[in-house]
Structure formats: structure tokens, C-alpha cells
Structure 1
Amino acid sequence: VATCGSNTVSLAGWWLVAASGARQLPQPSLSLHPSQGVSLGDNVTLRCHVPRSPSRVYLYRDNSPRPYRSADTERGTIDFSLVNINSDDAVKYQCQYEISGSGQTSEKSDPVELVAIGEGSGDGDWPWAVPTGSRP
């Protein structure tokens, strides 16, 4: 502990932060393509945008703690394809990345929700991919 003027600073705490490399990695973002007009049986691409490469990218579904899929990328984006989607695919998705060789892992992206025609909702609304954080 050191005293600097009237402020007391814990050098041990600072050392721990500096030694652990505790800088937060930027959060990735996730988007769906197409983002509207998705029907059961269609193909959908979930695109994760990562600000740092090379990275191992993880795709999560429905708030599961375990990744649904993973892939490596040398560039800033990675696509995960959902082929012939069914009602089980109409859930929330998130992505996360890990910097190769460092063990540093980002926070998960904001979730997006895949909504598809043919789910039996009966409300007649056009389906879309919803960033769940923007709902009122």
C-alpha cells in the first residue's frame, strides 16, 4: 500500500490487474441473413463479427452454457449456416470469441432471435430477426 497525497493506492491490486492482462476484449456482434421473411425450411446464416483475429468463435443457442458450434477465423467475420430450419431453430443465438493462443475470451454478443413463418403463432406478423436488447 502506498500513500500519494491524501489518496491511498493498493499497489498489490494494481499489480494483479496489470499482470492478469485484465483489459476487456471488445464484444462481438451477431446478425442473421436474411433478417426478414424467414420461413420454416429456409436456410439462414448467422454471421458473427469479431473485432480481433485470429480467433476461435463460438455460437450459443437458447442461453445454453455450452457452445452449439465453433469455428476458427483469420478474418473479422465467421458464418454459421442453419440449413432447412425447423421450429427447434427458432430460438435466441449469441456468439463469443477467444483470441488464438492467449486464452482471452470476450463477452457474448447481444442475443438475436430467429423468428420464422410457420411456427404456428397465428398472429400474421412478418417474421424477422430481433436483436433482443432493442425490444421495448
Structure 2
Amino acid sequence: MSPVLVSRPSLSLHPSQGVSLGDTVTLRCHLPQMAAWVRLYKEGRWIHSHYKYKEQDTADFSFLSTYREHTGTYWCRYRVPWSAVESEKSDPVELVLTGEGTGDSRWLCLLPTGPCPTS
């Protein structure tokens, strides 16, 4: 039996910049094929799963009101419905929040695009 090849997902943030404490932010895992389970990880630890009931090419994980604890590095992976094979993890996305008491710059940065603007 040949191994099952599972394409790598990608992860993006919406909105992609200017997210302040208390704002809503969505981490969207883009799937190259139908998946049964999509998992979101923060700092290397699994934090949430989303089961796909119908064919969609994305899985959304939203924070309705962001807190300082949401700052960090996220990635996603998925498992296809007919196999126990999991995908590779997506490239990481860094969520940086701005606002009172954060001490951060005014931007939300996506890795691996580079450092945050300092202005």
C-alpha cells in the first residue's frame, strides 16, 4: 500500500493589521482538500479543533474579543476523513495586539514576512 500524501495547509489572520485589544480577529486555515478535523495550535500546543461537516476550503477560528493572552505564534494542521494521516503544520502566523498596556507597535505581523514596522 502506498503512503497517503496530504498537502500542507496555510494560515492567515483577518484583519491582517491594526488589531487592538478587544477587537475580533479570525485565524483562517486554508485547506488544499476536504478535511474532517482541523486543529489550531498556539506556541506548539493544540488549543482547538474544528470538525468540517461539509466541503469547504477553510476553517475559521475566531476570538470575538482579543486579550493579551491571545498574543503568540499559531499554526494549523488537518486530518483527512478517510485516513488517520495528518497534514504537515502550516507556516506560523504571529498575532501581535496593540492597545493600552501592551507596549507593542501599532501593527499585526505575519511570519515569515519579516519584522513588525517600528513607526
Compute the TM-score of the two structures, normalised by the length of structure 1.
Answer: 0.75
Q: Secondary structure at the match of 2:20?
A: coil
For 2:102, which of 115, 120, 133 is the aligned residue? Answer: 120
Q: Secondary structure at the match of 2:41?
A: strand
- Provide the aligned C-alpha RMSD in A: 1.7
Q: Which has the higher helix share?
A: 1
Following superposition, the deviation at residue 23 of structure 1 comes to: 4.3
Q: Report the identity percentage.
A: 42
Following superposition, the deviation at residue 115 of structure 1 comes to: 0.6
**Structure 2 Cα separation of the partners of residues 50 and 117 of structure 1:** 29
Between structure 1 and structure 2, the one with the greater Rg is: 1
Asked whether the 8 Å contact 1:32–1:129 carries over to 2, the reply is: no
- What residue number does 1:130 align with? 110
**Structure 2 Cα separation of the partners of residues 108 and 24 of structure 1:** 14
Asked whether the 8 Å contact 2:68–2:102 carries over to 1, the reply is: no
Unaligned runs of 5+ in 2: none
**Higher RCO (CA < 8 A, seq sep 6+):** 2
| Partner AA of 1:85 in structure 2 | T
| Partner AA of 1:106 in structure 2 | S
Unaligned runs of 5+ in 1: 1-18
Following superposition, the deviation at residue 39 of structure 1 comes to: 0.3
Following superposition, the deviation at residue 52 of structure 1 comes to: 1.1
- What residue number does 2:14 align with? 33
Per-residue deviation, residues 74-118 of structure 1 (Å, max 9, x unmatched):
211111111211111011110000001311110110000101112
* Displacement over 6 Å in runs of 4+: none
